[in-house]
Each structure stands twice: as structure tokens, then as C-alpha cells.
């Protein structure tokens, strides 16, 4: 069976905007349950200003704990600038993620920079990460549609992907940030991007705002993509799309891929324990579109009794 690779972004992208405070220990437990389920790649935290993102203020404490407990886990952290990269390096981080928004307005709203300034900043981050011998992945955010400018011009997305690839980033993540993409658009954009970027360096990051994340993932698979971002339980939500369902649920992606003849190396049954833990911590119902079927067929009974959450 052909292998696909999943980076679970729940510990960072999923948790960062939650209204409920999540302790370092609960974050560590979530990551441990992802590892138990077979997750080999995860975005575990971000080295950002504690004032800007209070949920990630424990990055310097959490990352070494995760790295020490799970040396086999490829643990990415998000860094927004050179200061964050320096802090990540001091903490022993070996893999980082950068974000480059593909529209002028999104950059102004998000980081108070012009698009040109954001490009320059991202290229500097890639160059510095190479100097420090740290692997990087670069998100091309709002690569399909922007909440402020509408459809993002495809030539611009291609040009940005080329710039970060030529600068030496290790992975280029094409992000459907607001979850507005449809399979035909995914196919069109990826086919054009892949004329210039090696498929093995290209990742798709999908949100499920309109319930099409799995269909979009299938379209990406048909284009040759084998690297995907997802979030256990669909944790996330998009601050630019009120009521959005959040990231593509890892369990939905694993179920679709496995039933379609791909190997993920991930246990659906054990993944449900990670959903249970996140659900308990966040005090909300979680799970992708397949969660009801999974609970009935992959594991007959599901409980939030802490005793059942330990392996």
C-alpha cells in the first residue's frame, strides 16, 4: 500500500484560539495520545508573543518535554519572526513553520506588513533557519480565497510558492485558510503549482468550513499529494469565518485514505482516545463528519472516564 503522511496540527493550530485555558500537562497528554495512535509529525506549539497568543505562552516548557518523551516525533513549532526563531533554536527545536499570507490585506490585518515586506521577512527566516540547520515548512496562507479580497490570484500563489522553494524551505504548505475551496479549485491550483514545485515537498492544509475538506483531500491525492495537515477532532476554527467547522479532522482523513487503499500508519481506534481527551479538556463536542460512524464501528463504546483514556 502506498503511504501518505499526516502532520497533526491540533496542539498548535487547533488550540491557539480556544476560549478555554489548556494546561501544559493537558497539551502534553494530547500529544502523547497522538503519538500512541501512530502520528509521526505534529505541530506542537509556537514561539510567539505571550500577549498576542496566551495559549502558547508555555512553548519553552512544553517543547523540551515533548522532545524528551517522544524523540521519534517530528515536532514542528510555528515562529512568526527572527526573535521567535531564536527562542525556538535556544529550546532545541529542529523543525519550524513560517506563515506567508498571499494577499495584501491579510498581511496588513495579520502582521501589519505589506505583502512585499512579508515576503522579505519570510525569506530572511528561511535563510536564518538554514544557517541554524533547522528544517522549515512555509505556509502559503489564503492560497485559495481571502476573507478580505475574495479569490486569491493563482499566479500570485504560484510565484510565492516558487520564491520560498527557491529560498530553500523544506516543505511548502498550500493552505485553504478559510475553508472555501472546492475539489475543482484544488485540482486546478495544485496542478499549476506542481509545475514548479516538487510534489514530495508540497503539503495541503485544509479546513472544513463548508464540509468539503475530505473531498478536497481526495482531489489533492489525485494530483499526487502525499503530505497532509489535519487536526484530531477537527479542532481549530477560523477567526475569519465565524462558525467555521475548523481544520480537516485527522480521523476523517485517515478513514478516507485507508478505505481508499492508502497506508497512514495511524490507528483509528487509538485516535478516538485523543478526540476524547481534547473533548474533555475543551468541554465541547468534537469530531469530524465520520465521528458517529467511527464510535459505533471502530470502538463500540466511548466514555470520558479518565481510566479508559490510558493505554
238 assigned to active site: yes
Report H helices in 168-249.
183-193, 213-222
Check 101, 146, 223, 238 and give the catalytic one. 238
Angle at 178 between CA 199 and CA 184, to 5 degrees: 50
Calculate the alpha carbon distances from 33 to 46, 166, 268 in Å: 20, 36, 12
Q: Based on the number of CB atoms within 10 Å of its own CB, is 36 exposed (0-12), middle (13-18) or buried (19 or more)?
A: middle
Calculate the alpha carbon distances from 139 to 84, 233, 262, 306 in Å: 16, 22, 25, 36
- How far is 63 from 58, CA to CA, in rounded Å? 8
Residue 187 makes CB contacts below 8 A (sequence gap 6+) with 219, 222, 223
- How far is 294 from 63, CA to CA, in rounded Å? 31
The total of other beta-carbon atoms located within 10 Å of residue 261's CB is 8
- 298, 251 Cβ separation under 8 angstroms: no
- 203, 161 Cβ separation under 8 angstroms: no
Residue 302 — φ and ψ, nearest 5°? -125, 135
* Selection from 148, 200, 202, 140 nearest residue 176 by Cα: 140
Tell me which H or E stretch contains 1: none
Residues forming the active site: 238
Amino acid at each position: 500500500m502506498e503511504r501518505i503522511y499526516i502532520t497533526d496540527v491540533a496542539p498548535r493550530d487547533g488550540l491557539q484560539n480556544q476560549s478555554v485555558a489548556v494546561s501544559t500537562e493537558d497539551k502534553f497528554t494530547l500529544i502523547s495520545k497522538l503519538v500512541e495512535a501512530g502520528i509521526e509529525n505534529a505541530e506542537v506549539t509556537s514561539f510567539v508573543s505571550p500577549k498576542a497568543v496566551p495559549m502558547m505562552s508555555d512553548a519553552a516548557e512544553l517543547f523540551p518535554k515533548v522532545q524528551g518523551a517522544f524523540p521519534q516525533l517530528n515536532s514542528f513549532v510555528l515562529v512568526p519572526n527572527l526573535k521567535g526563531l531564536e527562542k525556538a533554536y535556544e529550546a532545541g527545536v529542529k523543525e519550524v513553520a513560517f506563515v506567508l499570507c498571499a494577499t495584501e490585506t491579510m498581511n496588513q490585518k495579520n502582521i501589519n506588513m505589506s505583502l512585499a515586506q512579508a515576503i522579505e521577512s519570510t525569506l530572511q527566516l528561511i535563510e536564518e533557519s538554514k544557517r541554524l540547520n533547522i528544517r522549515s515548512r512555509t505556509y502559503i496562507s489564503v492560497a485559495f480565497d481571502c476573507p478580505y479580497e475574495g479569490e486569491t490570484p493563482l499566479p500570485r500563489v504560484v510565484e510565492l510558492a516558487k520564491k520560498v522553494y527557491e529560498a530553500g524551505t523544506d516543505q511548502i504548505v498550500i493552505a485553504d485558510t478559510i475553508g472555501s475551496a472546492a475539489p475543482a479549485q484544488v485540482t486546478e491550483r495544485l496542478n499549476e503549482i506542481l509545475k514548479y514545485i516538487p510534489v514530495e515537498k508540497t503539503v495541503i492544509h485544509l479546513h472544513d468550513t463548508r464540509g468539503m475538506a475530505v473531498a478536497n483531500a481526495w482531489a489533492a491525492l489525485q494530483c499526487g499529494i502525499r503530505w497532509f495537515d489535519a487536526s484530531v477532532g477537527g479542532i481549530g476554527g477560523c477567526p475569519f469565518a465565524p462558525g467555521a467547522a475548523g481544520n480537516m479532522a485527522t480521523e476523517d482523513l485517515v478513514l478516507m485514505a485507508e478505505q481508499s487503499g492508502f497506508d497512514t500508519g495511524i490507528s483509528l481506534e487509538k485516535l478516538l482516545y485523543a478526540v476524547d481527551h481534547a473533548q474533555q479538556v475543551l468541554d465541547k463536542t468534537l469530531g469530524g463528519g465520520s465521528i458517529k460512524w467511527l464510535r459505533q464501528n471502530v470502538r463500540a463504546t466511548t466514555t470520558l472516564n479518565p481510566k479508559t483514556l490510558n493505554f
